[in-house]
Amino acid sequence: TGCGWGKMAAGGAADAQARFGHSVKGLLTEKVTSCGTDVIALTKQVLKGSRSAELLGQAARNMVMQEDAILHSEDSLRKMAIITTHLQYQ
């Protein structure tokens, strides 16, 4: 009868080891899925940041163009003021 207990103990240990292995595989799968989700979120954030930088660059270019237009308008107004002053003297 002593041999029967040994076989049962060995069988129980094998079952526990199998359950442990299955548990570890489950945890590993869960961790890999979680990391995959994090990588996707990070990629989306990087792409969003890249798009933000592109939009900021475009806004800066537009601002420079507007600044040139404002300076040109200011110059035109100054010339018109000079012309108006000359016409008033005549």
pLDDT by residue for the chain (90 residues), tens digit each?
445 444 445 556 667 677 766 777 778 888 888 888 888 888 888 878 778 888 888 888 899 889 989 999 999 999 999 999 999 988
**Residue 61: which of 53, 51, 49 has the closest Cα?**
53
CB atoms within 10 A of CB 82: 10
Q: How far apart (Å, rounded) are the C-alpha atoms in residues 12 and 20?
A: 12
Residue ranges per structural domain of the chain: 1-49, 50-89
In 1-90, alpha helices (H): 2-89
Cα angle at 15 between 10 and 18, to 5 degrees? 125
Tell me the HSE value of 54 on the side-chain side, using a 13 A CA sphere. 6
The residue type found at 66 is Q
